[in-house]
Amino acid sequence: MTQSESPRRRRSRRRRRRTRLRRALLTALVVGSVLLTSAGWVGFRGWQARAHLLNAAGLAGELSAQVVGGDTARAHRTLAALQQQAGAARAVTSDPGWWVARRTPYVGDDLTAVRQIAIAIDDLARAAFPALLRTDLTGLVPRDGQLDVGRLRAVGAELSEVDREVQRVRADLTAVPVEDLVAEVRAALVRLRDEIDQVAALTAAADRATRLLPPLLGMDGARRYLLVSQNPAELRATGGMIGAYAVLEADRGRIRMGRQGASGDLGMFDPPLKLPAEVRRLWADLPGRYPADVNLTPHFPTAAALYREMVHRRTGVRVDGVIAIDPVVLSYLLRATGPVMVPGGTPLTSENAVKTLLSDSYRRLDHRAQDRYFAAAAAAVFDAFLTKNVDPKVLLSAFDRAITERRILFWSAHPAEQRTFGDSRMTGTLPDQDTVPTVGVFLNDGSGAKLGYYLRPTATLAVGDCHHDGRRELRLRVTLTSSAPTSGLNRSVLGLGLAGDPYTVRTFVSVYSPAGGAVLEARLDGAATSVATGTERRRQVATANVEVPAGGTRSLEVSVLTGRTRAGAAELWLTPTATPWTTQVVTAPSCDQ
């Protein structure tokens, strides 16, 4: 019986296996069809998301230009369109098909990154940008010599809200991994991160400023500051020799100009003021001995503290901080104030201020008269800034450009306030750590003349090879061209003529490596050149003497190493000059790619 039933059982088992196989094949066919349909749907939605995000990027650029230009009506319309496009991108990346696809191998990371990009732009369009448009910027502009501190605090509250949202979006994007993304998605994410980093830096600075300005303006007690004028006709690392100063007095938001003086009146200090050991090894006692040399170092807090102490010792005036500006800053402010009359000179305008102050004045005034003229010009422009009815957006644009170029610097003698400013551009702090490898190129005049006005500088920084120890090589090329004439300049311009030929511009070019890095070699016009070396704030320094004849050009090439980094980006920090630098930074892929 058992033997006769065995074939039937075998046939039954075969039928069951065939049934299960048919069911499995049918299931696989159904699932495969669903997956293929989902992939097509996700691809279609991805195409839609890409179109919406491209539109949003274009609208964001238009919105930025309209806000800076003060076209509020168009800015509101652009914002509405931006919100529509950003919201659409967010919607198409949030449906169930996209959710499922984000959890699949190979493409899941890319779809998640696109989703995060869409969320970031939508959050900024709905939470941050509207608050920016609502902000009453008139609270940041003085009226009749006084800032309304109450209104300033109201503006500060709105800007703090914007900054919190921007910083949150920035943190969310930073957390998105980039290593395994396809090239197009990775590039879009990195680009958006860079743009939001810039926005975050601005909103953080605005938030700090509106919190700090009330006490700085004497809300809790009168304050005094030194307003110093840097003269880039005779270059120093932070911008130019400090020729003149004025005492600003602030009390409950009201600001007035007090005592004025010149660096030449302060004389020489013997014994010299105490210096950081690294600065003394680089520049001997010069920064502690002569007021005109305090800023041979690019670290503005050191220079400002020295100058403050020098003024105190000679005049008895004790101030709460130092503000540095230059004639280029005045030219930017004059765009907001309009022409300003200066006693003993021609009206200053945004077009003629730099030439008048850094060239024409030397042809008609002696050394003492020039210092008085510079002080009078700064006072006149400052008075116009305080008292004229200026467009706040034009004024803020001028300040933004000047701070970006490091032409306005501020140091507080109150440590807690100084720490609040951190390492922002306005503090002129040479940081001892880098987030992105930064190379400094700082210029100090070695001619004893006022020929810096004629320098035309360029700099190119290229990111090079990755080293096995985690460092990276950077290649720097600095080119200095002189537009000086070969004759016709007077003794006031030619000065001491320490280069021999009085029309030759001698400049000490100091190259600072990234923090924790090193300078490898230097070549001048293709030939090896000797350099003086030292360190400052964890950066190796190499200083070369570059002499440029009238109408000539010299090129200095320097190779440097970064500290340990995998980044393919780099930054330049440059001495502000009368004619702005022409620069280029050539990036490279990360060492991880």
- Structure confidence by residue, pLDDT tens digits, 129-185: 787 777 766 666 777 777 777 777 777 777 788 888 888 888 887 887 777 666 776
- In contact, 576 and 405? CB cutoff 8 Å: yes
Distance in angstroms (rounded) separating the CA atoms of residues 493 and 361: 10
Give the highest mean pLDDT range of 6-20, 99-113, 197-211.
197-211
User: Do 455 and 338 fall into the same domain?
Assistant: no
- Of 88, 96, 2, residue with least CA distance to 47: 88
pLDDT tier, 12 (very low <50, low <70, confident <90, very high otherwise) = low
Residue 306 reports pLDDT greater than 70: yes
Secondary structure (3-state) at 111:
helix
**Mean pLDDT computed over 69-79:** 79
Average pLDDT of the chain, as a whole number: 84
Q: Name the least confident of 14-28, 32-46, 136-150, 354-368.
A: 32-46
**What phi and psi values does residue 346 have, to the nearest 5 degrees?**
-85, 160
The CATH number of the domain where 375 resides is what? 3.40.630
Q: Which of 187, 216, 245 is the last residue of a domain?
A: 216
Return the minimum-mean-pLDDT range out of 146-160, 270-284, 299-313: 146-160
Domain boundary pick from 216, 245, 278? 216
Of 53-57, 182-186, 286-290, 588-592, the range with the highest mean pLDDT is 286-290
> What confidence score (pLDDT) does residue 79 get?
85
- Nearest one of 543, 555, 558, 557 to 508, comparing CA atoms: 543
Average pLDDT over residues 379-407: 82
Average pLDDT value for residue range 499-526: 96
Q: What is the mean pLDDT of residues 492-520?
A: 95
Task: Give me the pLDDT at residue 29, please.
Answer: 34
pLDDT of residue 566: 79
**Stretch 209-222: mean pLDDT, rounded?**
79
User: Which residue among 197, 216, 235 closes a domain?
Assistant: 216
pTM reported for the whole predicted model = 0.78
- What is the share, in percent, of the chain residues with pLDDT greater than 70? 83
211 and 74 part of one domain: yes
Greater pLDDT, 580 or 257: 580
pLDDT classification of 7: cutoffs 50, 70, 90: low
Q: Which of 39-53, 234-248, 263-277 has the least mean pLDDT?
A: 39-53
188 and 291 both lie in a single domain = no
Q: What integer pLDDT is reported at residue 476 of this predicted model?
A: 98
pLDDT of residue 69: 59
In a domain, 118, yes or no: yes
Q: Measure the CA angle with vertex 164, ends 160 and 169; round to 5°.
A: 150
Reported as a single tens digit per residue, the pLDDT across 407-465 is 999 999 999 889 888 877 889 999 999 989 999 999 999 999 999 999 999 999 999 99
The reply to whether 239 falls in a domain is yes
Residue 476: closest CA among 551, 562, 590? 562
Which pLDDT value is given to residue 139? 63
Residues 281 and 395 in one domain: yes
Separation of alpha carbons 86 and 64, rounded Å: 16
Query: Which residues, 6+ apart, have CB-to-CB distance to 287 below 8 Å?
Result: 275, 279, 293, 294, 295, 296, 297, 302, 303, 306
Same domain, 30 and 168: yes
Q: Is residue 36 over pLDDT 50?
A: no
Q: Quote the CA–CA distance of 487 and 59 in Å, as a whole number.
A: 53
Question: Which secondary structure element, helix H or strand E, spans residue 263, and what is its range?
Answer: none
Span 238-250, pLDDT tens digits: 999 998 899 999 8
Q: Provide the pLDDT for residue 140.
A: 66
pLDDT at res. 187: 75
- Whether residues 487 and 461 fall in one domain: yes
Q: Percentage of residues in the chain with pLDDT exceeding 90?
A: 45
pLDDT of residue 492: 87
Query: Is 401 in the same domain as 489?
Result: no
CA atoms within 13 A on the CB side of 527: 4
Report the Cα 561 to chain-centroid distance in Å. Answer: 22
Could you tell me if residue 510 is inside a domain?
A: yes
- The residue range of the domain holding 472 is 433-586
Mean pLDDT to the nearest integer, 112-129: 79
Same domain, 240 and 187: no
More confident residue, 464 or 195: 464
Per-residue model confidence (pLDDT) at position 303: 98
Within a domain: residue 19? no
pLDDT of residue 544: 98
513 vs 564, which has greater pLDDT?
513
Calculate mean pLDDT across residues 353-379: 83
pLDDT category at 506 given cuts 50, 70, 90 is: very high
In a domain? residue 301:
yes
> Do residue 314 and residue 395 come from a single domain?
yes
Q: What angle do CA 355, 364, 338 make, to 5 degrees?
A: 40
Q: Quote the CA–CA distance of 232 and 242 in Å, as a whole number.
A: 9
Does 437 share its domain with 396?
no
Residues 6+ apart with CB under 8 A from 496: 447, 448, 449
User: How many domains are there within the chain?
Assistant: 3
**Residue 576 maps to a domain:** yes
**340-356 mean pLDDT:** 88
Least confident of 185-194, 242-251, 541-550, 564-573: 185-194
439 shares its domain with 314:
no
Given a contact cutoff of 8 angstroms between Cβ atoms, the answer to whether 268 and 289 are in contact is: yes
Residue 221 falls inside a structural domain: no
Same domain flag for 376 and 275:
yes
Alpha-carbon span 210 to 140, nearest angstrom: 8
Contact between 330 and 384 under an 8 Å Cβ cutoff? The reply is no
Q: Does a structural domain hold residue 222?
A: no
